Chains A and B, each alone.
Chain A
Amino acid sequence: MTTPPSQVVLSVEDVTIDTRPAGRKPIVRNISFDVREGETLCIVGESGSGKSVTSMAVMGLLPKDALQVTGGRILLDGEDVLQATPARIRELRAQKVAMVFQEPMTALNPVKTAGAQIDEVLRLHTNLSAAERRQKVLHMLERVHLPDVERIYKSYPHQLSGGQRQRIVIAMALILRPRLLLADEPTTALDVTTQKQILRLIKELQEEEKTAVVFVTHDFGVVSEIADRIVVMNRGDLVETGTCAEILSNPRQDYTRMLVASVPSLIPRCVPVPANPKVLEVVALEKRYGKKGLYRDRSVLAAQNISFTVRKGEITGIIGESGSGKSTVARCVMRLTDPSGGAIVLNGHDIVPLRNLRPMRQHVQYIFQDPYRSLNPRRTIGQSLMEGLLNYGLRETEAARKAAATLELVNLPAEVMNRYPHQFSGGQRQRIAIARAVVMEPDLLIADEAVSALDVTVQAQVLQLFEEIRARTGISILFITHDLRVAAQICNTIVVMQDGRIVEQGAARDVLAAPVQAYTRSLIDAAPAPDWDFQNFRPVSRAL
């Protein structure tokens, strides 16, 4: 992947970005890097590292009242973007730089058709006639490998899938053949299989057009797939730059080392648990949304014929892409959603017919995906932790003692009981949410994408925490995730779901190492960088 010396497209020289009015500490400090023609540069970092702010500065998109570039130069084909007039920047955005954002739904206008939105770009920046423009747009849609381009042209964003929307956004970005493409986490909101396709698409278009690409991401899997060179950022500082191979196989800095090593391995680690008593047995579970009409069936089967068991001390993973029904199953088990059929046997009792859920909820607890929204912002950590205990009649002093002890378990000091959620980082909040569930001493813990919103290093900590809690309390965990790497780290048993059905299930080492079904295999293949062992900084040795 070595590029011959070619022209530098973007050159960021010693850039410092500060809050306005100037704060205590600049957001980004003295960053320098170059991007050449036809090269992909990945900016990698955890949340808060300043990677997005840097890319926004290149586009001239920094919020004027909040952030400003206080030092350095950003040269685009030799022209300093920071000195350019607003009119010139608009011109540059059209002809030289284009941007692709994380969430394609919000990047597109919901009340205009996909075709009209791409057409608008041409109308504003070229003198082509309507017919020529249409021709060009359709051609571009074909180039991003969309099927049935005539129909797509006339479709509104909500009629398209996430992957198709992101293709539209890419088409829009590249139709004017910019010199530089800035992609800010463009695949983070997509499923793995779609992500793989989008990455391939960007690579392909880039090779045709010799576009320079700056790819901002937190995911080292994605990085290893696409990057020529890598810039690692941490808290506003540039930690390390190097070629993809250098960074992945021989990182020089400790921080980079830790970051790379935090990427969970695809190799399943856990063996099946012995034949412990069953904590949860789901039998032929079915969930139908909407009602069957008299003439037409408008209902959607979100889950059908779902059967699996979770034994004591076992971590069972349900994996699948979005829309596969994995969350529906989890919510049914918690009875946050009422199942339409089947049985959910918890500790020997079917909980489907239950009307009073209180006694059952003592034994099952749920951890939500978003730690920012699952804690009531108006209540202190202590109040949140003690709420469940008090509900089940524990005395206040006793509850406080238990809550404090549980906080220690998740590695937070007991003094934080009087703090409010907004004073904690995402990872800390998720640890608090876990403590809130664990303090109830449930038999079964349901973790619904509980680590998906977290940075890799934090993710690794939280996964380890789950492992510790399981070892200490013998708890069973139902672990819902879309991330095979995470599942491989923590699950004993794995259930693979697709379109509301179970495709394959079995011990993690069997399902992940030797999948029987084609769908499971495609999921594993789509996982970024399946053949790189991040922990050991070398390719995976297939000998197990």
Chain B
Amino acid sequence: MTQTPAPDTPIPPARDLPEMDSAAPDGGFGALVRGVLSSWPSRISALVLGAIILMAVLAPFLGTTDPVAINPALRLQGSGPEHWLGTDSFGRDVYSRIVYGARISLAVGAGTVLVSLLFGVFFGVITGYFKWADIIVMRFMDGLMAIPGILLAIALVAISGATLTTVLIAISVPEIPRIARMVRSVILGVKNEPYVEAASVLGTGVWKMVWRHMLPNTVAPLLVQGTYIFASAIMTESILSFLGAGIPPETPSWGNMMADGRTFFLLKPELILYPGAMVSLTVLSVNMLGDVLRDRLDPRMAKRL
């Protein structure tokens, strides 16, 4: 033999460490916030939303008076030093009602997101993971989705009476199937991923599996869906109040104010315009943030984060 034979064993694997510069995973909450605040529209949206939240929290300290105090002598006043945005048909201070109304609107928004996420994720996981649950629960969800959300909400409020809690539930229920379907599809998709099978080979139990290996994949779409639900809940609350099926009329909410102002629209359009503008602003900025979130969390964009 003239040639030198190659060594018997292949070259031993070099203990080559991956480059350290990428060692810190650039993910997590901080990166997300930085990402969201990287463009002007989203910065403005965040600023507006922040201001509205601050307004709701600090309502008593913003030069407001009692938002339910009636003063028939001063009905339908214009803007002035006494009443900054005038008074409504009962002589209540419009400015105070708008500031306090932010509390109701935000509470409804946040509450709806919380309730619908809680139940939606639960049903989504159950139906995604267990075939038997899928057949039963999803048919029920399909039924729920077939009924227009507003109609369902009105019916629920009509049955149980109008309080903040019932309105909240009434708005949340139609959102649950949407969340459940989304979570279900993510779980179904991830169920056959090798890493999930690998975990099952390692003896990981059902709930640990869901929590560790499946639910993290739903965070991004849920975050985005959450913002849309938040916005639509504020809208729905306004519509319900406007239709007279919402929160009790004496409670200051933007929807209620618009409902009250309806009869005086020709006389004093500001009564509808002010709360309407607030609803639009809030919904717009939340939707904008949702859009930015969606772009940021898209896996194809994630690499640039």
Contacts and interface: CB of A to CB of B under 8 A. Distances in A.
A433 B13 CA distance: 16
A155 interface: no
A141 interface: no
Contact of A535 (B5, B197, B200): B5
B30 interface: no
Given A358-B203, A361-B202, A537-B3, A261 B18 contact: no
Given A362-B203, A420-B25, A368 B10 contact: no
19 contacts: A258-B6, A258-B11, A336-B200, A361-B201, A362-B203, A365-B202, A368-B198, A373-B193, A391-B205, A392-B203, A411-B15, A412-B15, A416-B18, A419-B18, A431-B13, A436-B198, A440-B202, A464-B12, A536-B3
A214 interface: no
A438 B9 CA distance: 22
Interface in B1-59: 1, 3, 5-7, 9-13, 15-19, 22-23, 25
A391 B204 contact: yes
B194 A537 contact: no
Nearest to A416: B17
A377 B190 CA distance: 12
A427 to B, nearest CB: 8
Contacts of A296: none
Contacts of A71: none
B27 to A, nearest CB: 8
Contacts of A458: 13
A387 B194 contact: no
A374 B194 contact: yes
B195 to A, nearest CB: 4
A290 to B, nearest CB: 16
A250 B2 CA distance: 11
Contacts of A365: 201-202
Contacts of B193: 373
B3 A538 contact: yes
Given A423-B18, A461-B12, A536 B6 contact: yes
A376 B196 CA distance: 8
A457 interface: yes
A9 B50 CA distance: 66
A366 B11 CA distance: 26
B296 interface: no
Contact of B201 (A334, A373, A411): A334
B201 A537 contact: no
Given A375-B195, A423-B18, A464-B9, A391 B202 contact: yes
The 7 closest A-B CB pairs, nearest first, are A388-B202, A460-B10, A261-B6, A374-B194, A461-B13, A391-B203, A368-B194
A376 B6 contact: no
A413 B15 contact: yes
**Residue of B7, B19, B25, B202 most packed against chain A (CB within 10 A):** B202
A460 B11 CA distance: 8
B75 interface: no
A373 B25 contact: no
A262 B7 CA distance: 10
Given A361-B200, A361-B202, A361-B203, 6 more contacts: A366-B197, A419-B18, A436-B202, A461-B12, A535-B5, A536-B3
Contacts of A103: none
B290 to A, nearest CB: 23
B199 interface: yes
B83 interface: no
Contacts of B202: 361, 365, 387-388, 391, 436, 440
A237 interface: no
A315 B286 CA distance: 60
Contacts of B216: 378
B139 interface: no
Interface string B88-124: 0000000000000000000000000000000000000
A257 interface: yes
Given A375-B195, A413-B17, A336 B6 contact: no
Interface string A356-392: 0110011011101110011111110000000110011
A368 B197 contact: yes
Contact of B10 (A413, A431, A461): A461
Contacts of B17: 413, 415-416
B3 A250 contact: yes
A336 B201 contact: yes
B213 interface: yes
**Residue of B5, B13, B17 most packed against chain A (CB within 10 A):** B13
A464 B13 CA distance: 10
**Residue of A249, A376, A378 most packed against chain B (CB within 10 A):** A376
Contacts of A102: none
Contacts of B195: 373-377
Contacts of A537: 3, 6
A425 interface: yes
Contacts of A420: 25
Interface string A409-438: 001110110011001110110010100110
Contacts of A392: 203
B18 A370 contact: no
B13 A411 contact: yes
Nearest to A334: B201
Contacts of B5: 535-536
Contacts of A425: 18
Nearest to A362: B203
A257 B212 CA distance: 45
Contacts of A370: 194
Nearest to A534: B6
Interface string B171-215: 000000000000000000000011101111111110010001100
Contacts of B16: 428
Contacts of A437: 201
Nearest to B198: A374
A437 B199 CA distance: 10
Contacts of A336: 197, 200-201
Contacts of A366: 197-198, 201
A462 B200 CA distance: 24
Interface string B137-156: 00000000000000000000
A424 B18 contact: yes
A458 B11 CA distance: 10
B198 to A, nearest CB: 5
Contacts of B6: 257-258, 261, 535-537
A436 to B, nearest CB: 7
A56 B11 CA distance: 32
Contacts of B203: 357-358, 361-362, 388, 391-392
Contacts of A536: 1, 3, 5-6
B25 A464 contact: no
B210 to A, nearest CB: 13
Nearest to A331: B197
